[in-house]
Structure 1
Amino acid sequence: MDQNKITQLFGIKYPIIQGGMVWTSGWRLASAVSNAGGLGLLGAGSMYPNVLKEHIEKCQKATDRPFGVNVPMLYPNIEELMEIILKRGVKIVFTSAGNPKTWTNYLQGHGITVAHVVSSVKFALKAEDAGVDAVVAEGFEAGGHNGRDETTTMVLIPSVKERIQIPLMAAGGIATGRAMLAAMVLGADGVQVGSRFAASIEGSSHNLFKEQIVNAKEGDTHLTLKELAPVRLLKNKFYNDIQEAYSKGASTEDLKNLLGRARAKRGMFEGDMVEGELEIGQVSGLIHEIKPASEIVDDLILEFNKAKEEIRNL
Structure 2
Amino acid sequence: MNGRITSLFNIQYPIVQAGMIWASGWRLASAVSNAGGLGLIGAGSMYPDVLREHIQKCKQATDKPFGVNVPLLYPDIDQLMDIILEEKVQIVFTSAGNPKTWTPVLKAAGVKVVHVVSSALFAGKSEAAGVDAVVAEGFEAGGHNGREETTTMVLIPAVCEQVKIPVIAAGGIGSGKAMAAAFALGASGVQVGSCFVATPEASSHINFKQAVVAAKEGDTSLSLKKLTPVRLLKNSFYNAVKAAEDSGADAAALQALLGRARAKKGMFEGNLEEGELEIGQVSALIHEIKPAATVLADMVAEFRETMQRLKNIDI
Q: Note the C-alpha offset of 1:247.
A: 2.9
Residue pairs, 1:1-150, within 5 angstroms: 1=1, 3-150=2-149
RMSD (Å), alpha carbons = 0.5
Q: Note the C-alpha offset of 1:163.
A: 1.3
Q: Which whole-Å deviations, capped at 9, do the CAs of 1:98-130 have from their partners, x for residues lacking one? A: 000000010010010000000000100000000
Q: Would you say 1:250 and 2:233 are equivalent positions?
A: no
> After the TM superposition, which parts of structure 1 deviate over 6 Å for at least 4 consecutive aligned residues?
none
2:305 corresponds to which residue?
306
SS at match of 2:141: coil
Q: Note the C-alpha offset of 1:89.
A: 1.1
Q: Which whole-Å deviations, capped at 9, do the CAs of 1:71-103 have from their partners, x for residues lacking one? A: 000000000000000111100000000000000
Q: Note the C-alpha offset of 1:195.
A: 0.5
**In structure 1, what residue type is equivalent to 2:75?**
P
Q: Distance in 2 between matches of 1:303 and 1:309?
A: 10
Q: Distance in 1 between matches of 2:89 and 2:203?
A: 21
Q: Distance in 1 between matches of 2:249 and 2:9?
A: 45
Q: Would you say 1:171 and 2:205 are equivalent positions?
A: no
**Structure-2-length-normalised TM-score:** 0.99
**In structure 1, what residue type is equivalent to 2:244?**
A
Deviates more, 1:240-249 or 1:35-44: 240-249
SS at match of 2:94: strand
**In structure 1, what residue type is equivalent to 2:135?**
V
Q: Distance in 2 between matches of 1:80 and 1:163?
A: 33
1:230 corresponds to which residue?
229
**In structure 1, what residue type is equivalent to 2:59?**
Q
Q: Distance in 2 between matches of 1:252 and 1:213?
A: 28
SS at match of 2:305: helix
**In structure 2, what residue type is equivalent to 1:157?**
I
Q: Would you say 1:212 and 2:211 are equivalent positions?
A: yes
Q: Note the C-alpha offset of 1:249.
A: 2.4
Q: Note the C-alpha offset of 1:245.
A: 1.3
Q: Note the C-alpha offset of 1:243.
A: 1.4
Paired residues, number: 313
Q: Distance in 1 between matches of 2:133 and 2:255?
A: 34
SS at match of 1:222: strand
SS at match of 1:100: coil
Q: Note the C-alpha offset of 1:248.
A: 2.6
Q: Would you say 1:241 and 2:248 are equivalent positions?
A: no
Q: Note the C-alpha offset of 1:219.
A: 0.2
Q: Distance in 2 between matches of 1:269 and 1:233?
A: 15
Deviates more, 1:238-247 or 1:131-140: 238-247
**In structure 2, what residue type is equivalent to 1:249?**
G
SS at match of 1:101: coil
Where structure 2 has 5 or more consecutive residues not aligned to the other structure, the ranges are none
